[in-house]
Structure 1
Amino acid sequence: MSTAATYTEFATREAYGVSPTYERLSRAVAANPAIHELLETVPEAKRQPNLLFGVVRLLGGPVDDPAGFHDFTVAHWNEIAANLRVRATQTNEPGRCAVLLPVLAKLPQPLALLEVGASAGLGLYPDRYSYRYGDRLLGTAGPVLECELTGTEPPARLPEVVWRAGLDLNPLRVTDPDDVGWLDALIWPEHEHRRERLRAAAAIAAADPPTLIRGDLVEDLPALAAQAPAGATLVIFHTSVLYQVPEPRRQAFEALVRTLPGHRISVEAPGVVPFDGLPPAPDDTLHNVVALDGVPLAWARGHGQAMSWFAD
């Protein structure tokens, strides 16, 4: 896909109705050959809108003014490019736990959670957050994660988690101000509620840090999974991660994870983890497929704000 098409699709399918600032900026970048030329000097995987916009925000550049964004990007390209090469879109959105919870609550308790692509590990605390599904409130502590849930009843209980661990090529630490600054830069401009959630979730993780391992999702996953305690249900999960993994490595992961014990929850775009016979998505915006052990269950929005259950 061309750079122009990538930014147009991001504006149309991801930012539309969610972030007017990023929708406007994406359309401006799509029509800006000078920015395209600069982006073509970095690997294709490093040209994605979320990564570019996050780096510019981290470096103090404007994203609310396309002309100012253009001038800043051209003037500071060497520094921007250096950050693009070493950083990844490690959006650690606690809100995604709201689409994991209906699946986790149905599994045999207690749980041992292992997240692939864990970033700072904020997705490893579904038992420490509260949730609002319509008029149903679940939980009494932590940030309240709101999700528009259709097609199934909200879960009646929080999961019991006795072990939590994460695997990431570059794990982030919630106790490191620079790492938290990068997570903040990845939050879209208008989403102050997500910044508040980030701070609240980071405080929970800092008080009881998970095991975060720097490693590869194929080479290092079996050894980490083997550390899960006996008597707990191992759940390996990943949310909006595999699109960053090259196709051959993705296939190797798919083959490996089927051999491991326990269960696997995937929350990925349908082109990343493909399934046959999916029902139509609720609308034209980008939705992920929530699946358990390779069986698709529901559509979900990228930040966990909505879930449409379609499985029996």
Structure 2
Amino acid sequence: MTTAAQYAEFAAREAHEVSPVYERLSVAVSRDDEVLALLGTLPEAKRQPNLLFGVVRLLGGSVEDPGAFHDYTVANWPAIEAEMRARATQTNEPGRCAVLLPVLAELPQPLALLEVGASAGLCLYPDRYAYRYGDHVVGSGEPVLECAATGLAPPPGVPDVVWRAGLDLNPLDVTDSADLAWLDALIWPEHAHRRARLRAAAAVAAAEPPLLVRGDLVDDLPALAAQAPAGATLVVFHTSVMYQVPAPRREAFVEVVRGLPGHWIANERPGLLPYDALPEPPGGALHVLALDGVPLAWTRPHGQAISWFA
């Protein structure tokens, strides 16, 4: 897929009806030969819209007006390029816990959670947040995560988590102002509720920091998994991570994670993991929630909806 097509698709599938600012900006970039040429100097994996837009916002540029964005990007390209080469999209959306919860709550308790691509580890606290599925509230605490659920009964309660660890090529620390600024820059412009959620979840993580290990999802996963306490169900999980992993490494990861004890939860775009068949999606940009390689539900990328089909 060309870079222009990538931005046009992001506008149509990801940003449409979710972020008018990013929809408008993505369409503009898809037609902007000068910015596309600059992006073409980057490795293909580093050309993605979320990364470009997040870096520009981090550096103080405008994303609301496409013309101002063009001028800023062209004028400041050396600084933007350096940040894009050094960084990856590490959106740490705690709202995704709302679509993980129905699966986590049904596994043998207590749980030892290990997140691959953990960023700052904010999805390692599903037991500390509260959830609202329509009129049904589960758990207590802040933030309160809202999720539209169809095809399943809301979970009866939050899981019992006795160990939490994360693996990431570049773990982030929510007590570090620069790391928190990057997480904030990755939240889409209009999403004030997600900014408030980030702050609330960061406070939870700062009060009881998770074990975050710098490492590779294939080479370093078994050693970290071996640290999980005996008597707890190991749950290796990941959400919106595999698109950054080359296909051969994804295949190697699947082989490694299937060889571990416990369970594996994946919440990823369709096509990235090998599922035999999927039902027709309900529309919009969706991920597939799966347990141990078996697809269970369609989910929205930030955890705002789940449609159970299993």
TM class by shorter chain equals over 0.9
Matched, 1:309 2:308: yes
CA distance in 2 between partners of 1:167 and 1:148 (Å): 29
Q: CA deviation at 1:287?
A: 0.5
Q: Which residue of 1 aligns with 2:59?
A: 59
Instruction: Map 1:1-312 to 2 at 5 A.
Output: 1-283=1-283, 285-311=284-310
CA distance in 2 between partners of 1:80 and 1:271 (Å): 30
Q: CA deviation at 1:70?
A: 0.1
Q: CA deviation at 1:286?
A: 1.4
CA distance in 1 between partners of 2:3 and 2:140 (Å): 45
Q: CA deviation at 1:139?
A: 1.4
CA distance in 2 between partners of 1:265 and 1:142 (Å): 24
CA distance in 1 between partners of 2:82 and 2:271 (Å): 29
Letter in 1 for 2:292: D
Indicate the SS of the match to 2:165.
strand
CA distance in 1 between partners of 2:96 and 2:152 (Å): 17
Letter in 1 for 2:293: G
The percentage of aligned residue pairs carrying the same residue is 72
Q: Which runs of 4+ in 1 moved over 4 A?
A: none
CA distance in 1 between partners of 2:3 and 2:88 (Å): 18
TM-score, reference length from structure 2: 0.99
* Structure 1 vs Structure 2 CA RMSD: 0.5
How many residue pairs were aligned?
310
Note the alpha carbon deviations across 1:172-210, whole angstroms, 9 max, x for none.
Answer: 001100000000000000000000000000000000000
Indicate the SS of the match to 2:296.
strand
Note the alpha carbon deviations across 1:39-94, whole angstroms, 9 max, x for none.
Answer: 01110100000000000000000000000000000000000000000100000000
Indicate the SS of the match to 2:34.
helix
CA distance in 2 between partners of 1:45 and 1:260 (Å): 29
CA distance in 1 between partners of 2:256 and 2:122 (Å): 25
**Which ranges of structure 2 fall in alignment gaps of 5 or more residues?**
none
CA distance in 2 between partners of 1:52 and 1:32 (Å): 14
CA distance in 2 between partners of 1:141 and 1:260 (Å): 32
Note the alpha carbon deviations across 1:6-63, whole angstroms, 9 max, x for none.
Answer: 0010000000000000000000000101111000111010000000000000000000
Q: CA deviation at 1:276?
A: 2.0
CA distance in 2 between partners of 1:198 and 1:14 (Å): 20
Q: CA deviation at 1:307?
A: 0.3
Indicate the SS of the match to 1:235.
strand
Letter in 1 for 2:62: P
CA distance in 1 between partners of 2:274 and 2:53 (Å): 28
CA distance in 2 between partners of 1:101 and 1:255 (Å): 25
TM-score, reference length from structure 1: 0.99
CA distance in 1 between partners of 2:120 and 2:129 (Å): 16
Q: CA deviation at 1:274?
A: 3.2
Letter in 1 for 2:46: K
CA distance in 2 between partners of 1:277 and 1:44 (Å): 29
CA distance in 2 between partners of 1:131 and 1:205 (Å): 17
Q: CA deviation at 1:140?
A: 1.8
**Which ranges of structure 1 fall in alignment gaps of 5 or more residues?**
none
Letter in 2 for 1:293: D
Q: CA deviation at 1:142?
A: 1.4
Indicate the SS of the match to 2:147.
strand
CA distance in 2 between partners of 1:271 and 1:294 (Å): 13
Note the alpha carbon deviations across 1:115-161, whole angstroms, 9 max, x for none.
Answer: 00000000000000000001101112110000000001000111000
Letter in 1 for 2:305: A
